[in-house]
Structure 1
């Protein structure tokens, strides 16, 4: 485990994806089995986006919920040990069901539904306890490393 600004991050997360705080939305890997991975993110009251989204009634922006799924998917892609940077190439379907607020713990699950050549087809969900927050279907690819 690694302490970064008061947040404990799993070293495996830092070793697998390039994002860093304050734009890292995965704290730790809970399980990784076959084509599926589950991660966790604890929303602290001092998250930078809560200051302006929305004062007096803070909620995590939907685009950042999506990003948490994308980063979880990138960790899953990293298990393939292929060179390159995982980037989102398509968002097919997104449904926001509830809100995420300071103090909530996000449970993020992403499944690799199919892989064709360099295209990774994935689906994801975010839950807070037994409450569904987000459902998303997306596609990612590996951007070749620069020479």
Structure 2
């Protein structure tokens, strides 16, 4: 499996797919990116006249790249059935706002992957390389969803 085929295996599609690209994956970390298009529906009502990406969407973006994509990569060849990683816990710090049309990069480092559970330290940076949020995410393998 190559990193280009991972996104096709995610159980998400527009308008709830927050992965534009995966640029690297190995046994210890994954790196991917997403650009928050200004036409996304949640911008219409989140801080009137000064839209900001909601923290829950930033968390979801980190989880899709840093947990779900990473889990699919790590599970390659291990599972015969359709599987994915379901988010089970988050501890996220929001450091800077993310505005419409900003591109972010998500970098996840594996803390552990065992017994069907994946725990990662995840960091999100904006295009200037500034940390916008970071945290610890955990999930577990779900079969046949």
* Superposed pair shares fold, TM > 0.5: yes
Alignment length (residue pairs): 136
Aligned to 1:33: 26
Deviation at 1:144, TM superposition (A): 2.0
Aligned to 1:87: 86
**Aligned mate of 1:78, from 72, 75, 80:** 72
Aligned to 1:98: 96
Deviation at 1:16, TM superposition (A): 2.4
Q: Note if 1:69 corresponds to 2:68.
A: no
C-alpha distance in structure 1 between counterparts of 2:30 and 2:84, whole Å: 18
**Greater RCO, CA 8 A, separation 6+:** 2
Aligned to 2:144: 145
Deviation at 1:132, TM superposition (A): 0.7
Q: Could you tell me which runs of 5 or more consecutive residues in structure 2 were left unpaired when the two chains were aligned.
A: none
C-alpha distance in structure 2 between counterparts of 1:117 and 1:13, whole Å: 21
Contact kept in structure 1, 2:71 and 2:84, CA below 8 Å: no
C-alpha distance in structure 2 between counterparts of 1:64 and 1:118, whole Å: 25
Helix, strand or coil for the counterpart of 1:139? Answer: strand
Deviation at 1:67, TM superposition (A): 0.4
Please tell me the root mean square deviation across aligned C-alpha atoms, in Å.
1.7
